[in-house]
Structure 1
Amino acid sequence: MFEEIRNSDIVQERALLVAVYGPGTPRVQAEEYLDELELLTYTAGGVTVDKVLQNRMHPDASTYVGSGKLRELKRMAGEKNIDTLIFDDDLSPTQIRNIEKGTKAKVLDRSGLILDIFASRAKTAAAKTQVELAQLQYLLPRLTRFWTHLSRQQGGIGTRGPGESQIEMDRRMIDKRIATLKDKLEKIDQQRQTQRKGRSKKNRVSLVGYTNAGKSTLMNALTETEVLAENRLFATLDSTVRQYEIENHDILLSDTVGFIRKLPHDLIESFKSTLDEVRECDILLHVVDASSRMTQDYIDVVEDTLEDMDVDDKKSVLVFNKVDLLDSHKITELKHRYPDAVFVSAERNIGLAKLEDEITELIEEDYVTKTMKIPAAKYEGVAFLHREANIIEKKYVGADVELTFSIDKPDLMRLETLLDNNDAAESVA
């Protein structure tokens, strides 16, 4: 699916991908999952040489694939010059040790691969701290195997992050480092909370979705800015916030890390401060890759993750992106299955006006329209409305100012309190 990088300075690891699926999973779905693992491998800098898909009742407790398949993997690794075996499930320390012993190859499981990608993607101090914490928590129960593994292998996929300089660390030192990182993240979280308080009056909209659904491209299209957007998984780790306006409503649009099937729990926990943009927003835009054959699976993964985060009750819009890659029959089918969804192409600016109408409608669900006559001398109330409300009509009636405006309910209560204190206004409608 992916070509090797043609660069003499880059030596890509040659990977053999392995997955086991049971009787409850159709083979075509298992193949899609293995394709996703190939994209993860490509994102990490490896090249997939071959794939092995095994149908069995359940993974073998000792070797994941069973002794016969393990011998086959050893043969394939030798014949095809395989550097690394990558498995589409999390492996126990015992399974990893037995597979490495049986195949004489480096072994990496799904969580280790995802964590390695996050380590290579982390650019800011916050992201690097979050990733290192998740990696150390992942490594701690695998400590003995990992140190042996690193003493034999020099770098490569699955070895970035904490790195070889920590080979001599014992459990006590790692525990101490984990505590230090947690303290550091707590301070980062407090700083971000302070930043969010400063923009609490804005309408906050968050983009969520399966990784590589096109969230960053959609943010660029809506806000006319340049956020990194590329065709690799987890292009965005830190939350990115941009301000723009829709129908006189000030919007703060945030783009956050993409979700994925079997996202490591430690990673979700360590990225809490980043995901707080999702927890504290007013509206969610759930972006889905319409061109994928796994749309419902991807929707389910995101919805399950949002439920785990206790944010599944927020106002939301289901947004199918990349519709320019579909034929009319497929679009009709999706519209029938998801009648409330919005269909866009962020790349080609298709359907964005409809999406903005949906956002405006959700914002204005909590708005009321009022007409008030306020004495011009009572500038506090007039200034408040110009600052917090959408002014629809303004006219002078003698010494008074008559304003028709749209305002959200909490601000209306603040206005009424202000005007009651001043005994200054007459409600016209």
Structure 2
Amino acid sequence: MTNLPPRDHKAAPTILVGVDLGLPNFDGGLEELGLLAQTAGLNPVARITCKRKAPDSALFVGSGKADEIKLLATQLGAIEVLFDQSLSPAQQRNLERHLELPVNDRTLLILEIFSQRARSHEGKLQVELAKLQYLRTRLVRRWSHLERQSGGIGMRGGPGETQIELDRRMIGDNIKKIKERLVKVKKQRQTQRRQRERRDAFNISLVGYTNAGKSTLFNALVKARAYAADQLFATLDTTTRQLYLGEAGRSVSLSDTVGFIRDLPHGLIDAFQATLQEAVDADLLIHVVDASSPNFTEQIAEVQRVLGEIGAADIPQILVFNKLDALEIEQHPLQLVDHYDLAGVQTPRVFLSAMSGEGVPLLRQLLANAVGVEVAAVNETP
């Protein structure tokens, strides 16, 4: 357990909790959860980790550790507890009763960040869908009034229908409406893609772990002003611009997409299917990696996993090891362009700094080469 100095006295003092269940990629320092919490406007004041063979069915951490969390919250004035793993509705409800504090999990935290950051109409619809799908299973969490009957003459709902049943039905209706609206948005995107295809467009999508520097690289390549910041999920909405590659003598379509993260809620993957469709339909993926992160191999694996889930695993990639400027001199590679074994495939890799511009011309040359190979293949097709 490590106490943390408060970063923002206006933000809610929060205790972070992680449970090591012996699974790979356990974040023993809760570093990523802390960054997520700060991104959402919370103020982590302490971190607690423990080991268990399996989650406690009632309190996830067990009663002894729950008592320790409650005591620490009282000592530090924490007003919320945040778990790095997903909690079941029952575990969340039991923990709140035991701790007498609001308890949330990683899934809701990511949903909240997405809700804060979505700007486009499509993005807001997708976030709302994911939040409703999450909420539908948790209506019993805090609201005892939901147990009262609401049926009868002059009341909405059938006779004897409880408030929770009514709320679930209303949420179900809203989910249906949002899905119908997203279908229309998806059709509009398909129309736009067909128009690009008729123009013989070559489509490139930037993908990668959140905060790897995708938007900074996007801006460096197309001289755009897409929002970029040193924080998780700075970009949620897909931005597409034309990129002229003088080396290939043609323009390509370049899209910046939402970043991936460990344990991304499945509801978000489903809800953002329309946005991630840009990656699915790409001719080439620029997989941006934070070369300065000690966990870059795990982050690459997570991106590959999500790409597999959305049907984009077989699209050719160029690996960009970004943030060269953040590496110590002795960590710099002997050459800026080489190959990296990506799931058994020797994949072109370039080291660069999107911030300083070092290595960006080398990436442009790799992109031009990829476009040239594609054009040659098309011309050879009988």
**Fold match, TM over 0.5?**
yes
1:326 positional shift: 0.5
The two structures, once aligned, show a CA RMSD in angstroms of 2.4
1:93 positional shift: 1.0
**Aligned partner of 2:181 among 179, 184, 187:** 184
- The whole-number CA distance in structure 2 between the counterparts of 1:238 and 1:2 is 33
**SS where residue 143 of structure 1 aligns?**
coil
The one-letter amino acid paired with 1:331 is H
What residue number does 1:319 align with? 320
The one-letter amino acid paired with 1:343 is F
Distance change >3 Å, CA 15–CA 216, structure 1 → 2: same
**SS where residue 338 of structure 1 aligns?**
strand
Structure 1 runs of 4+ aligned residues shifted over 6 Å read: 333-337
What residue number does 2:7 align with? 4
> Residue 17 of structure 1 contacts residue 38 of structure 1 at CA under 8 Å; is this kept in 2?
yes
1:233 positional shift: 1.1
1:24 positional shift: 4.9
**How big is each residue's C-alpha offset from its partner over 1:19-54, in whole Å with a ceiling of 9 and x where there is no partner?**
00134558xx5225x100000000000110000011
The one-letter amino acid paired with 1:181 is I
- The whole-number CA distance in structure 2 between the counterparts of 1:3 and 1:227 is 31
- The whole-number CA distance in structure 1 between the counterparts of 2:318 and 2:24 is 29
Comparing both chains, which one has the higher relative contact order based on Cα–Cα distances under 8 Å and sequence gaps of 6 or more? 2
Distance change >3 Å, CA 334–CA 59, structure 1 → 2: farther
The aligned length equals 352
- The whole-number CA distance in structure 1 between the counterparts of 2:24 and 2:244 is 45
What residue number does 1:389 align with? none
TM-score of the aligned structures, taking structure 1 as reference length:
0.77
Gaps of 5+ in 1: 151-165, 369-406, 414-429
> Residue 133 of structure 1 contacts residue 178 of structure 1 at CA under 8 Å; is this kept in 2?
yes
- The whole-number CA distance in structure 1 between the counterparts of 2:215 and 2:143 is 38
- The whole-number CA distance in structure 2 between the counterparts of 1:334 and 1:67 is 54
> Residue 21 of structure 1 contacts residue 58 of structure 1 at CA under 8 Å; is this kept in 2?
no
- The whole-number CA distance in structure 2 between the counterparts of 1:60 and 1:337 is 45
Matched, 1:79 2:81: no
The one-letter amino acid paired with 1:42 is Q
What residue number does 2:212 align with? 213
Gaps of 5+ in 2: 147-162, 342-347
What residue number does 1:409 align with? 379
1:148 positional shift: 5.2
The one-letter amino acid paired with 2:379 is K
1:197 positional shift: 1.5
- The whole-number CA distance in structure 2 between the counterparts of 1:303 and 1:328 is 29
- The whole-number CA distance in structure 1 between the counterparts of 2:169 and 2:194 is 38
1:44-123 to 2 correspondence within 5 Å? 44-123=40-119
- The whole-number CA distance in structure 1 between the counterparts of 2:88 and 2:262 is 19
- The whole-number CA distance in structure 2 between the counterparts of 1:23 and 1:331 is 34
1:309 positional shift: 1.1
The one-letter amino acid paired with 1:119 is S
Identity within the alignment, % = 42
The one-letter amino acid paired with 2:218 is M
- The whole-number CA distance in structure 2 between the counterparts of 1:183 and 1:83 is 39
> Residue 15 of structure 1 contacts residue 86 of structure 1 at CA under 8 Å; is this kept in 2?
yes
